[in-house]
Amino acid sequence: MDNPGITVTCPADAPASGPIPIEAILRADARTYWDNDGILDKALTVALVRRDRPGLRFLDKIDRGALMLPDEPLPGRPSDAQLDADTGMVIETKLVDASTREGSADYFVTAAFSKWWGGVRTLRVSDPHGRVLSSNQAPRVGPDLQPWPVRMPPTHGDPSIRIERTGGGSVLVAPFRVATPTGQALDGSGRSRRWLSLLGFKLDTRGGACGGVFDLSIETGAGETVGEAAIPISALGSKPDAGCWMFLGFVGEEVLPPNEIWLTNDDVR
């Protein structure tokens, strides 16, 4: 822990009846400290991605009932030359609660702080009464209620998420290869579907995040499913702005390799 960054820990298993602590250790260099007015968790985002159902949730960092006043700029900011020369670090530990108290669920836990990503952990929440937490959101579909485009087989050998720029706008392409059944009956016909959870962290001193859950319109069954999903950047919730982003994708129990992508003003307009 000698370098700036983030370390995330969480229990692998937890009961649904109580708090579920997720600990983030934040290590900030001088510029990150001052850019966030000395409040490091301004640049922290902790996300839960459902593995057993569609769902993406960003965890609260403060009590929703707290009375919060606007943050004042931290006085006495050093010069840029002083910040560049400062080799010190500020370390803070932040605890957030992932509990829902509504039943069992399986999650991926991931987080980012400022310019640093904290990796992926798994969390299984168990309910002693056998209740299962229902999906907190339905996968989004494209224009005219059509599922998001899936190209099969993939046209590119890189398994990471990438960007494609065309005259019709910029899209994020997420290749996937899934060998295990996932999904629930989402279309009313008793057929199960696959979905893609797409999550982006902005790698910037002040952080930021965006994401969404998207219907892949692929019936679940035995064997392997291979394809590429093309998601317009404009479809992401909390529309991203220009800059360097880390994008991750999740299809059921599968985690797509993350990739850093630089979004331009043209990509996000």
**First-to-last CA distance in the chain?**
38
pLDDT of residue 255: 92
pLDDT in tens, 191-219: 456 889 999 999 999 999 999 999 887 76
pLDDT at 269 over 90: no
The position carrying tokens 């001193």 is 205
What span, in angstroms and rounded, lies between the C-alpha atoms of 221 and 4?
A: 44
Question: Other CB atoms closer than 10 Å to residue 105's CB: what's the count?
Answer: 25
What span, in angstroms and rounded, lies between the C-alpha atoms of 33 and 137?
A: 35
pLDDT of residue 69: 58
Tell me the mean pLDDT in the region 66-79.
74
Q: Which of 80, 96, 85 is nearest to 26 (CA)?
A: 96
The pTM assigned to this predicted structure is 0.89
Q: Which of 3, 212, 23, 39 is nearest to 111 (CA)?
A: 23
Q: Catalogue all structural domains in the chain, each as residue range(s) with its CATH number.
A: 1-132 (2.60.40), 138-269 (2.60.40)
Q: Which of 23, 18, 20 is nearest to 95 (CA)?
A: 23
pLDDT: is 12 or 239 the higher one? 12
What span, in angstroms and rounded, lies between the C-alpha atoms of 191 and 43?
A: 41
pLDDT of residue 70: 65
Contact 174/161 with Cβ under 8 angstroms? Answer: yes
Tell me the mean pLDDT in the region 127-136.
82
pLDDT of residue 126: 93
Q: Which of 80, 9, 2, 72 is nearest to 37 (CA)?
A: 72
Percent of the chain with pLDDT over 90: 59
pLDDT band at 13, cuts 50/70/90? very high
pLDDT band at 109, cuts 50/70/90? very high
